[in-house]
Amino acid sequence: MNLSQMTKNEIASFKSENEKLYNDFKGQGLCLNMARGNPCKEQLELSVDMLRAFDDGNFMSECGNDVRNYGILDGIPEAKKLFSDMLGVASDEVIIYGNSSLNAMFFSMQCAFNKGILGSKPWSQCGKIKFLCPVPGYDRHFKVTEFFGVEMINVPMTPTGPDMDMVEELVKDEAVKGIWCVPQYSNPDGISYSDETVKRFAALKPAAKDFRIFWDNAYCIHHLTDKPKYILNILDEAKKVGNENIVYMFGSTSKVTFPGAGVAVMGASKENIEELKKYLGISIIGFDKMNQMRHVKYFGTYENMVEHMKKHMAIIAPKFRLVCDKLQSEIAPLGIGTWTTPEGGYFISFNAPNGCAKRIVQLCKDAGVTLTGAGATFPYGVDPEDKNIRLAPTYPPIEDLAKAMELFVICVKIAAAEKLLAE
């Protein structure tokens, strides 16, 4: 029965029953963490053999350089081939970074602030500038723009991607310099942008000539079903309309091999790449070429990377099913929440009744289960409706995840009942 259709007395009784269950959990001394989208130990074990990549004693790149030595600013040729295939760009349209795509994004924005983009005025000299932020979205993206003092504007997500009518209207303001995007299996909704959305992004005509789409394709091969989704290649689409400079593409193997020891890559037009390489060469001589070579030796081809990800899917897909099944059986009949059922990526986006997210997260924390902070999926940590909670099922063992979800649904029920009783 829908909770909102119950009488006040029935809701009070419902709340009391769930508070008893909640107190039982508090007495168990739980210490479970679902705050971040971390791979679990079993996933990390999948790539351990990569650490033996140099057992053959061969440290030479095909370009004749010893990967143990200095040099090769933008990545060894073999790595550029492997990761350009992953992004769907040419080898001369990529830079191979270190282990962090977030660092590559930060560097790109830092260059825009300090030096400007392709001859435009540095952003630091442009007065108050703005950035578009699809919401709910990735908290670490928002932290980067917040660090630089950029005003962030919420753009609602739709089932096909960001609200493009709103985007096209907002970019008429010359102060709007860019937008964050996670185009495939978005964080946290798990939405893959439609063909129309990608084409509209590629064809944007912003008032700011130095506007850039920060296209963080973090989950480009991170599928959860046997029928994977693939989005259109935005650089290809942009080239078709003479707009190839508008996008910076990013990816990494953080959730393919080892977080913190993977390889990050950036893709863009040749003009963008050449400019960023010029600035990059001032700060570093070259990134970890041994790690680049490890990945090349281990995978060989992009197709082998895709096959490798099926092993990840076998480990984590049951965890996503567990979470969605629990929500379907316990929350759906009561009408006290909605959620996404992603086909890829690392998160499930749960929307509680308005005004309940902070309360749910705090109840879980007090009983020993740490979730992503309420509001984290919005700029400045402020969810205007206080309803969105990002669930990260991958890291806990499935037995712990089951226990955490038992507690989570109890907390949702308590918070929803409290709200109805207060009305």
Q: Tell me if 55 is assigned to some domain.
A: no
Alpha-carbon distance values, 412 to 44, 52, 54, 262, 379 (Å): 32, 47, 51, 37, 24
> How many angstroms separate the CA atoms of 276 and 74, rounded?
10
Same domain (yes/no): 94, 199 = yes
pLDDT for the residue 71: 93
* Domain boundary pick from 300, 328, 357: 300
Q: Do residue 310 and residue 295 come from a single domain?
A: no
Among 261, 278, 300, identify where a domain stops. 300
The whole-angstrom separation of Cα 217 and Cα 227 is 18
User: Within this chain, do residues 240 and 321 fall inside the same structural domain, yes or no?
Assistant: no
116 and 189 inside one domain: yes
CA dist list (Å): 221 to 27, 92, 242: 41, 22, 28
- Residue 56 falls inside a structural domain: no
Indicate whether 51 belongs to any domain.
no
**What pLDDT sits at residue 229?**
87
**372 and 296 within one domain:** no
Q: Output the CA–CA distances (angstroms, integers) from residue 233 to 70, 144, 185, 246, in the order listed.
A: 34, 25, 15, 13
Domain membership flag for residue 54: no
Q: Are residues 255 and 233 in the same domain?
A: yes
Is 120 part of any domain?
yes
Please compute Rg for the chain using Cα positions: 23
Residue 385 belongs to what domain range? Answer: 3-44+306-422
Residues 268 and 380 reside in one and the same domain: no
Question: Of 300, 323, 354, which residue constitutes the final position of a domain?
Answer: 300
291: in domain: yes
User: Is 239 part of a structural domain of the chain?
Assistant: yes
Sheet with 338-339, strands from edge to edge, namely 338-339, 348-351, 388-391
pLDDT score of 161: 99
* Structure confidence at residue 402 (pLDDT): 97
pTM of the predicted structure, to 2 decimals = 0.97
pLDDT of residue 1: 76
DSSP 8-state symbol, 410: H
* CATH number, position 318: 3.90.1150.10
* Predicted confidence pLDDT, tens digits, the chain (423 residues): 799 999 999 999 999 999 999 999 998 988 999 999 999 999 999 999 999 999 999 999 999 999 999 999 999 999 999 999 999 999 999 999 999 999 999 999 999 999 999 999 999 999 999 999 999 999 999 999 999 999 999 999 999 999 999 999 999 999 999 999 999 999 999 999 999 999 999 999 999 999 999 999 999 999 999 999 899 999 999 999 999 999 999 999 999 999 999 999 999 999 999 999 999 999 999 999 999 999 999 999 999 999 999 999 999 999 999 999 999 999 999 999 999 999 999 999 999 999 999 999 999 999 999 999 999 999 999 999 999 999 999 999 999 999 999 999 999 999 999 999 998
Are residues 143 and 184 both part of a single domain? yes
Cα–Cα distances (Å) from 184 to 8, 41, 159, 279, 291, in that order, read 43, 25, 12, 29, 26
Within-domain flag for 11: yes
Instruction: Let me know: does 137 contact 378? Beta carbons within 8 Å.
Output: yes
Q: Are residues 109 and 188 in the same domain?
A: yes
